[in-house]
């Protein structure tokens, strides 16, 4: 079976390369590899998210959901030097790359690459940033989003980027229907940037 970027253990050869990206006015060089999401460049959707949403500057605990090789997590840690960033993915190769890229960016002590089950159960997040894995299918996507949105702090906020042709508008309505008010704050290059608030945040699922 062919690898997907959401494969837990990629079986493809670990062929590495570097990509350049400019995020919030800073230049980054990231190491990527086969078997991870958007290995040849910073994904267009991620670029739109990072262009349309200003970086956090304070402290707190932030989740990068579906971190890939870690560009969002690293940039968040650089811009918010008092924040702790949890970089979650199902792909172990992606997590290895995130750790490597965080070290290169000088933020390894505050970026925590982790599998889903390795995130402390009592941890709450002030913000969630994500270019979510739409291609895992709607049932799994909904399950994933509800799991993590339930772990937002009471005044927390989520920032998501989703392709218009991949159901961004219906996802916006669905999130609102689940008790998480969701508004579109930007639309560019075929992507919607969504802001989700945590009015329904409660005990995280076990």
Averaged over 98-110, what is the pLDDT?
A: 98
Average pLDDT over residues 90-115: 96
CATH (residue range 43-197): 3.40.50.150
The structural domains of the chain, with segments of one domain joined by +, span: 43-197
- Stated pTM of the model: 0.88
Distance CA 132, CA 135 (A): 9
Sign of CA dihedral 191, 167, 139, 40: negative
- Residue range 149-196, pLDDT digits in tens: 999 999 999 999 999 988 899 999 999 999 999 999 999 999 999 999
Across the range 4-19, mean pLDDT stands at 61
Mean pLDDT of the chain: 88
Residues in CB range of 128: below 8 A, 6 or more apart:
62, 63, 65, 148, 149, 152, 156, 157, 158, 159, 160, 196
**Percent of the chain whose pLDDT exceeds 70:** 87
pLDDT average, residue stretch 86-94: 94
For residue 9, what pLDDT is reported? Answer: 52
């Amino acid at each position: 079976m062919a690898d997907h970027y959401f494969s837990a253990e990629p079986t493809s050869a670990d062929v590495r390369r570097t990509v350049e990206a400019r995020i919030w006015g800073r230049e980054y060089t990231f190491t990527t590899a086969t078997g991870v999401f958007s290995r040849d460049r910073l994904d267009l959707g991620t670029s739109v998210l990072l262009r349309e949403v200003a970086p956090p500057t304070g402290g707190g605990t932030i989740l990068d959901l579906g971190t890939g090789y870690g560009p969002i997590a690293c940039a968040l840690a650089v811009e918010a030097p008092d924040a702790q960033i949890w970089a979650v993915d199902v792909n172990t190769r992606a997590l290895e790359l995130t750790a490597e890229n965080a070290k290169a960016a000088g933020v390894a002590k505050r970026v925590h690459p982790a599998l889903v089950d390795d995130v402390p159960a009592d941890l709450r997040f002030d913000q969630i940033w994500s270019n979510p894995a739409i291609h895992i299918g709607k049932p799994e996507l909904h399950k994933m989003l509800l799991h993590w949105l339930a772990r937002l702090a009471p005044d927390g906020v989520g920032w998501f980027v989703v392709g218009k042709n991949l159901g961004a508008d219906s996802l916006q309505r669905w999130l609102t229907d689940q008790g998480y008010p969701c508004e579109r704050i930007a639309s560019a290059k075929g992507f919607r940037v969504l802001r989700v608030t945590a009015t329904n945040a409660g005990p995280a699922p076990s």
